[in-house]
Chain A
Amino acid sequence: MRVEYINPFVEAAFDVLKEVLHTDIHRGELFLKSATQSVLGVAAIVGLAGDVEGRVLFDMSAETAIEVASVMNDEKFTSVDDMVKATITELANMITAQAVTKLHELGFKFDLTPPAIFTGENMEVTDTEVEALIVPVNLPMGKLEINVAVRERA
């Protein structure tokens, strides 16, 4: 996968997370994952279709999702309830919207699906046709993984 697809997502994630969490964040080492990967517990998925196709997953543990939503709402949550899910969905929305703007500026044209949220334990995601690149982002609330599996449409 060409790195020019993933950079806009990473830059957008950093910009948006810094703004909504009012905190410093650190990027971990980028790595390529095998076809099947575990999902941390709360994952927002956004699909891409057009010149570029595939999906982007924003993945974090339930505890991290609760903490992130608590900061964004200025209110303490204790479980992954509807408001926590709505907050993480909106976070995924803001990050992808910003990334897509950058990709459009680079000349790639495509549409996005609305984000869907998966929650649960022991989940896995398998991409058989597209390799996935993962960028771990270290937040004070825990780790968030930006997992991008996209390719150019043949």
Chain B
Amino acid sequence: MKTKMDFPNINERRPEGLDENGRPYRVLIVDDSMFVTKQISQILSSEGFEIVGTAGDGEEGVEKYKELYPNVDLVTMDITMPKMDGVTALEKIIEFDKNARIVMISALGKQDLVKKSLLLGAKNYIVKPLDRPKVLERVLLSLK
């Protein structure tokens, strides 16, 4: 008789937020909207990602990245923010760590800024409104 050991259990799918060693990917969220920060954080946490920091503007984002480095795997970066916008913050982070993995979060209509970000080294982008499949897909692609 077969035991249940013989069958893969679909409930035991490995959460997407873990790397090949089962360690959670560490994420820094940079966004001036509490709502968006919470949304991203809920989506990623539910897949096992670890939110290691949040920042409310670009300047704070760059500082937090430097503080956390090298213990951070990915940054989600809003484009329109007070003090320092996301594109400038992206430039500063890449200057500091050329391997930084940054995903831009953009409202519709910012194609030029998204293009500029990708040329500057952003790994991917997500256009709001955010939803779970879109966020997970783009984040995971950026980590590959």
CA distance A35 to B107 in the complex (A): 32
Chain B contacts for A20, CB-based, 8 A: 129
Out of A82, A94, A97, A98, name the residue touching B34 (CB < 8 Å). Answer: A82
- Assuming the A-B contacts A16-B129, A19-B129, A114-B80, are A89 and B33 also in contact, with contact meaning beta carbons closer than 8 angstroms in the complex? yes
Q: Total contacts A to B, CB within 8 angstroms? A: 43
A83 and B38 in contact, given A20-B129, A89-B33, A90-B33 (Cβ under 8 angstroms): yes
Which residue of chain A has its CB nearest to the CB of B42?
A74
B108 contacts A101, CB within 8 Å?
A: yes
Query: What are the residues of chain A within 8 A of B33 when measuring CB–CB?
Result: 86, 89-90, 93
Number of chain A residues whose Cβ lies closer than 8 Å to a Cβ of chain B? 20
Find chain A residues with CB under 8 A from B39 CB.
73
CB atoms of A104 and B129 under 8 A apart: no
By beta carbon, the residue of chain A nearest B131 is A19
Residues of B within 8 A of A (CB): 33-36, 38-39, 42, 80, 107-110, 128-129, 131
Q: Can you identify 10 A-B contacts, CB atoms within 8 angstroms?
A: A73-B38, A73-B39, A89-B33, A89-B35, A90-B35, A93-B128, A94-B129, A98-B108, A101-B108, A104-B109
Interface residues of A, Cβ cutoff 8 Å to B = 16, 19-20, 72-74, 82-83, 86-87, 89-90, 93-94, 97-98, 100-101, 104, 114
